[in-house]
């Protein structure tokens, strides 16, 4: 007969572990050096059991889960447990060698010892603004192989019994254009793991190793049972969906195809039929695929289910090796987060067929732009890595969310005050994009406009995006979202639309770069929109009166 677990104690333990993961995240953001981590919170934290299962994941950037799933297994393949000591930490970033989902995301993982035995692992991941490669920021859709994207780090020791491994540390710094930032951010990652280790040890000391491990195992089983119950409420069957990424050039696209099979207590996601991997950085590595499936399935089926490995057991995920959702080395993968937003739409479209009351139209993913150059105020070289949110698709019973990161992406914007303090730019406009939401009975979420005035002389920008050619689809008769764009000097005689993917485009002093992010698709026929909702749109200046009249006809006063 199995050990009886007190459910109240199990909840206390689970909440303590989640609070510890959140405390690690707070430590990381508060002690980091770069604006990308301390202001945009482009980082995540997690706790694993001794076998490498996720037992607590802070609610930050869901796609980072892909960088951590299986990380402990990869460490143990290279380092037998007998060779790991208290105070050790391991670092990795390479998706093809057990490290992550793209190179700027650096994992730091530490074992938690109780006596002489490993009882758990704590881990964090932080997006570093530059880790080398052919372009500042180490991320550009135009990269053609991973060798162009930056330094590749397999799982190696960065700390040995509490002492910094200076050789590995110096190698990372030498490959970055902004090494001072890397020093501060890596030290913040070390600090986060120290904080996490301290709290996990306190938990094991309180309840004892056997009791704590049994409680954690029971909580994972509870999570699994809860999610299987959610699956059992779905109608069994096979549901198919597809959508398209931009391809290798302006005139091509790459298909993501999904066949979802709903069985009694399991979901099977089969991506056979997806196009071959691309010769650019839009590919989605397998672990990023896992993270996106886990995130979208949880959001639609049971948003409140604990974010741990228990519910992962209910999902079977397969993708053909060498495909755009299962690339093999040396395929470039730097822009996987933008691509994963389109992937999220495919997953949501398939699940929406089984969950019509929770259906979700297509969404507008964030746009990526990396501004770099010399700051004339201090003569120092800088790399400003930024992403700007798009719009969420409309749902079956409500409008889409405006200006939000969609599906598995999740970092925030860079506040204007912090940006202007750190870099030589002036933000002259930052607004929701009027009229951009896809029309429908329920309106798609609006995209965002942001204008940067350039205040330096040798500034360049690298650009990456999705949905500048293939708009977010509407659902049940809803209209498509608006396409995104990059525009130089908008509203002037020299206005120029920039490519959706480019490396190191020169931005003259006093020029203006406008980022226009794509919006979400609508749900239902636009003619069926509630007149009260139309009036609210007009009052809140989400649409013009002329635009509302064209879309909805009746109910719009002249």
Residue 228, CA distances (Å) to 301, 308, 360, 516 in order: 10, 14, 22, 41
Identify the domain boundary among 223, 257, 281: 223
pLDDT at 556 over 70: no
Nearest Cα to Cα of residue 316 among 255, 256, 285, 271: 271
> Would 324 be classed as within a structural domain?
no
User: Which tens digits make up the pLDDT trace of 257-289?
Assistant: 999 999 989 999 999 999 999 999 999 999 999
> Would 278 be classed as within a structural domain?
no
Give residue 189's domain range. Answer: 7-223
- pLDDT of 58 reads 86
Can the peptide bond before residue 330 be classed as cis, meaning omega within 30 degrees of 0? yes
Range in 307-316, 402-411, 433-442, 491-500 the model is least confident about = 402-411
Strand order in the sheet with 459-464: 381-388, 367-374, 459-464, 502-507
pTM of the entire predicted model: 0.95
Over its C-alpha atoms, the chain yields an Rg (Å, rounded) of 23
> Would 102 be classed as within a structural domain?
yes
User: Which tens digits make up the pLDDT trace of 196-235?
Assistant: 999 999 999 999 999 999 999 999 999 999 999 999 999 9
Phi, psi for 130 (deg, rounded to 5)? -160, 125
Q: Give residue for tokens 């912090």.
A: 418
- Could you tell me the sign of the dihedral formed by the alpha carbons of 295, 299, 301, 302, in that order? positive
Identify the domain boundary among 223, 253, 269: 223
Give Cα 217 distance to the centre of its chain.
28
Check which CATH number belongs to the domain holding 28 and give it: 3.30.450
> Would 459 be classed as within a structural domain?
yes
State the greatest distance between any 2 C-alpha atoms of the chain, in Å, as a whole number: 80
Identify the domain boundary among 170, 204, 223: 223
pLDDT at 558 over 60: no
- pLDDT of 553 reads 58
- pLDDT of 550 reads 65
Kind and range of the H or E run holding 181: helix 179-207
pLDDT at 433 over 60: yes
Check residues 452 and 62 and name the one with the higher pLDDT.
452
Q: Are 157 and 83 in contact (CB under 8 A)?
A: no
> Would 219 be classed as within a structural domain?
yes
Secondary structure of the chain: what % helix, strand, coil (to 5)? 30, 25, 45
Kind and range of the H or E run holding 203: helix 179-207
Domain count of the chain?
2
> Would 100 be classed as within a structural domain?
yes
Average of per-residue pLDDT across 184-199? 98
- pLDDT of 528 reads 94
Nearest Cα to Cα of residue 110 among 206, 170, 189, 168: 189
């Amino acid at each position: 007969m199995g050990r009886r677990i007190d459910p109240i104690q199990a909840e206390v333990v689970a909440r303590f572990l989640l609070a510890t993961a959140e405390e690690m995240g707070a430590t990381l953001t508060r002690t980091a050096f770069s604006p990308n981590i301390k202001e945009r919170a482009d980082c995540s934290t997690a706790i694993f059991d001794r076998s490498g299962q996720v037992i607590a994941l802070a609610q930050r950037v869901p796609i980072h889960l892909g960088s951590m799933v299986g990380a402990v297994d990869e460490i143990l393949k290279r380092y037998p447990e007998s060779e790991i000591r208290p105070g050790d930490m391991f670092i990795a970033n390479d998706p093809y060698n057990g490290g992550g989902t793209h190179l700027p995301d650096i994992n730091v993982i530490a074992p938690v010892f109780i006596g002489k035995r490993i009882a758990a692992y704590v881990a964090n991941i932080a997006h570093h603004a530059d880790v080398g490669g052919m372009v500042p920021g180490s991320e550009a859709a135009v990269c053609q192989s991973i060798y162009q994207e930056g330094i590749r780090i397999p799982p190696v020791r960065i700390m040995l019994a509490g002492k910094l491994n200076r050789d590995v540390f110096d190698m990372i710094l030498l490959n970055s254009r902004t090494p001072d930032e890397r020093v501060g951010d890596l030290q913040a990652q070390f600090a986060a793991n120290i904080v996490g280790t301290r709290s996990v040890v306190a938990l094991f000391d309180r309840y004892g190793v056997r009791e704590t491990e049994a409680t954690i195992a029971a909580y994972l089983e509870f999570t699994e049972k809860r999610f299987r119950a959610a699956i059992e409420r779905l109608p069994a069957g096979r549901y198919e969906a597809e959508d398209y990424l931009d391809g290798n050039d302006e005139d091509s696209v790459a298909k993501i195809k999904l066949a979802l099979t709903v069985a009694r207590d399991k979901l099977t996601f089969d991506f056979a039929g997806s196009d071959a991997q691309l010769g650019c950085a839009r590919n989605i590595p397998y672990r990023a695929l896992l993270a996106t499936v886990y995130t979208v399935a949880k959001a639609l089926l049971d948003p409140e289910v604990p974010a741990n490995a228990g519910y992962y057991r209910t999902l079977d995920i397969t993708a053909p090796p060498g495909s755009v959702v299962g690339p093999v080395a040396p395929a470039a993968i730097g822009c996987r987060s933008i691509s994963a937003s389109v992937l999220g739409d495919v997953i949501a479209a398939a699940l929406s067929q089984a969950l019509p009351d929770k259906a979700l139209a297509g969404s507008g993913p964030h746009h990526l732009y990396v501004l770099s150059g010399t700051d004339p105020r201090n003569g120092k070289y800088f790399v400003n890595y930024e992403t700007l949110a798009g719009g969420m698709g409309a749902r079956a019973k409500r409008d889409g969310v405006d200006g939000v990161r969609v599906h598995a992406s999740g970092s925030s914007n860079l506040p204007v005050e912090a940006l202007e303090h750190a870099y030589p730019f002036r933000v002259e406009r930052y607004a929701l994009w009027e009229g951009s939401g896809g029309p429908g009975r329920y309106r798609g979420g609006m995209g965002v406009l942001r204008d940067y005035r350039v205040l330096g002389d040798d500034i360049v920008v690298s650009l990456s995006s999705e949905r500048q050619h293939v708009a977010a689809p509407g659902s049940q008769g809803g209209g498509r979202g608006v396409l995104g764009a990059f525009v130089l000097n908008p509203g002037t005689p020299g206005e120029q639309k920039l490519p959706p993917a480019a490396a190191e485009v020169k931005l003259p002093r006093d020029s203006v770069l406008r980022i226009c992010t794509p919006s979400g698709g609508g749900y239902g026929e636009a003619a069926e929109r509630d007149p009260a909702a139309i009036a609210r749109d007009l009052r809140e200046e989400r649409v013009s009166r002329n635009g509302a009249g064209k879309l909805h006809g009746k109910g719009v006063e002249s």
